[in-house]
Structure 1
Amino acid sequence: MALQGKIVVITGASSGIGALTAQMLSERGAVPVLLARSEDKLQTTAAGIQGAYGLFVCDVTDEAAVERTFGEILEQYGRIDILLNNAGYGKFAAFTEMESEEFADMMDVNYMGIVRCTKAVVPHMLTRGSGQIVNVASMAGKIGTARSVSYTATKHAVLGFTNALRQELRRSGIIVSAVNPGPIATEFFKTADPSGNYERSVSRIMMTPQHVSAKIVKLMDKGKEEVDLPGLAGFGIRLYGLFPRLADKLTYNLMNKK
């Protein structure tokens, strides 16, 4: 019953794990507040929610829009219990093939989008002395692979931000959490890998969005600070931390499927 009645703001809620997490939270008695750029897609997500929900069109790269939207949410609901920073995208290409503007655009959404939304909610949570911020990072934030330099950099930034902010807010009553998934079978790959080659190469370890969303809901329910998905990959990451250069050499062919 920990999530019963909780107001949970979800960015990137128009599809994938954002949409599924909203539905699962509603089933647990929470009130998901859906944010994304496309109202049509948000309405599709909302159609699958049985209980109460909120819906706001918001572009996380627009600071004024973020501030306005969160102000409207607080005015309507009176509080925000949990913020799920889920908006983001990726594109896989060789470093020499990607323009500098694409690096900047991806960082603006994946990292600065989280910064903007978090800044909009932290003062409120500090006043209340409670709340949880959940940032969807990636295993890419812990280990780099070829042809994902720009995406990996954004997720390293997300994890650095999350870990530092957790320390800063540790005695405030606010929980700061990171979710670090590996490959998920969502529309993410339509942009990241239009050829479908990478998706096919990792199909055996691809997680379902239902599995990842269930883990996110559990993290919220338990107030956990971090979860690596799948669990075996998390164990591998810890070994990588001990022997990074050796692991790079031994796992090159396995990890670089893009």
Structure 2
Amino acid sequence: MKNERIRGKTVVITGASGGLGEQIAYLCAQNGANLILLARNIEKLNHLSERIHDEYGVNCPGLALDVSNPDQISAVFKRIYETEGEIDVLVNNAGYGIFSNAIDINLTDLEGMFSVNVIGLIACTREVIPHMCKRKSGHIINIASQAGKLATPKSSVYAATKHAVLGFSNSLRMELSQYGVFVTAVNPGPIHTDFFQKADPEGSYLKNLGQFILDPEKVASNIVSIMLTNHREINMPRWMNWTATLHTLAPRLVESLGRKAFFKK
């Protein structure tokens, strides 16, 4: 996968210590981009930063950031602008989910998911908007989910956070279009990452998905390939996005036909 547009550009990735964020980092480095990796686990970040720098020779500092902490966000992005310069691409990848029936979800988990998936994402985005608008250049990539298009049982709160991400992205895209700043929403289905260790500790959802689970490297490749282009959405897999589109047109039909599959969590 080649993307010469990002060579020498600076890409900031939240939630970069593993999973999809880690794969995005590797592919950006392969294309000559300078990276700033953000996550809570500084030990993992340092290991990843050293490996990327040694292998690809690009600038790749790792900074500790808990995106649920607004004060940390402000401090970290201020440091980035003071020490690393401008940000060309922001990938809002940090996020997590917990699968639970609405009646069983506890308030701590509810607040946590909204703090990270929604408020943290918006807070990080607000840090880069003035700079990108001033330069009339930049790309904000928000990792949402197919759950933000089609909510299913046991994911009500998680789906609500991703619906919020899509709503924010769609509005932001129009707001920033006059400044030449791009906004892309990425809507993957389930990806084979550590996400499910927290979302579904029993492993039943992964087991039921079988061959339909996405390869994180393939998802990352699609994301990196569209960086610094005016691309509205990435939707994977296609059949899941078609189902979500059909649900918009005929919700009762989809919910009736898909009832058995939707409850496989």
Q: TM-score, normalised by structure 1?
A: 0.97
Paired with 2:262 and 2:227, the residues of 1 have a C-alpha distance of 30
Q: What is the 5 A alignment of 1:78-117?
A: 78-117=85-124
Shift of 1:247: 0.9
Q: What is the 5 A alignment of 1:59-70?
A: 59-70=66-77
Q: 245, 249, 252: which is aligned to 2:252?
A: 245
Q: Residue 36 of structure 2: SS of its match in structure 1?
A: strand
**Residue in structure 2 matched with residue 28 of structure 1 by the alignment:** 31
Shift of 1:221: 5.1
Paired with 2:189 and 2:213, the residues of 1 have a C-alpha distance of 8
Paired with 1:254 and 1:8, the residues of 2 have a C-alpha distance of 38
Q: Residue 178 of structure 1: SS of its match in structure 2?
A: strand
**Structure 2: which amino acid aligns with 1:238?**
T
Q: Residue 203 of structure 1: SS of its match in structure 2?
A: helix
Is 1:160 the counterpart of 2:160 in the alignment? no
**Residue in structure 2 matched with residue 2 of structure 1 by the alignment:** 5
**Structure 1: which amino acid aligns with 2:218?**
H
Shift of 1:231: 2.0
Shift of 1:92: 0.6
**Structure 1: which amino acid aligns with 2:147?**
A
Q: 72, 77, 82: which is aligned to 2:84?
A: 77
Is 1:57 the counterpart of 2:96 in the alignment? no
Shift of 1:168: 1.3
**Residue in structure 1 matched with residue 147 of structure 2 by the alignment:** 140
Shift of 1:222: 3.7
Paired with 2:264 and 2:49, the residues of 1 have a C-alpha distance of 36
**Residue in structure 1 matched with residue 193 of structure 2 by the alignment:** 186
Q: Does the CA contact (< 8 Å) of 1:177 and 1:226 recur in 2? A: yes
Q: Residue 13 of structure 1: SS of its match in structure 2?
A: coil
Is 1:230 the counterpart of 2:233 in the alignment? no
Deviations 1:121-154 (A, max 9, x none): 1011111111010000000000011111111111
Paired with 1:44 and 1:24, the residues of 2 have a C-alpha distance of 17
- Extract unaligned runs of 5+ from structure 1: none
**Residue in structure 2 matched with residue 129 of structure 1 by the alignment:** 136
Identity fraction in percent = 41
Shift of 1:26: 0.4
Deviations 1:50-92 (A, max 9, x none): 2321211111111111111111111122200000000000111
Paired with 2:228 and 2:81, the residues of 1 have a C-alpha distance of 22
**Residue in structure 1 matched with residue 19 of structure 2 by the alignment:** 16
**Structure 2: which amino acid aligns with 1:24?**
L
- Extract unaligned runs of 5+ from structure 2: none
Q: What is the 5 A alignment of 1:197-212?
A: 197-212=204-219
More off after superposition, 181-190 vs 55-64: 55-64
**Cα separation, partners in 2 of 1:16 and 1:219, compared to 1, 3 Å:** same
Paired with 1:19 and 1:226, the residues of 2 have a C-alpha distance of 21
Aligned length: 258
Q: TM-score, normalised by structure 2?
A: 0.94
Paired with 2:65 and 2:107, the residues of 1 have a C-alpha distance of 25
**Structure 2: which amino acid aligns with 1:31?**
N
**Residue in structure 2 matched with residue 40 of structure 1 by the alignment:** 43
The CA RMSD measured in Å over matched residues stands at: 1.1
**Structure 2: which amino acid aligns with 1:19?**
E
Paired with 1:137 and 1:62, the residues of 2 have a C-alpha distance of 20
Shift of 1:255: 2.5
**Structure 2: which amino acid aligns with 1:10?**
I
Deviations 1:145-180 (A, max 9, x none): 111111111100100110011111111111011000
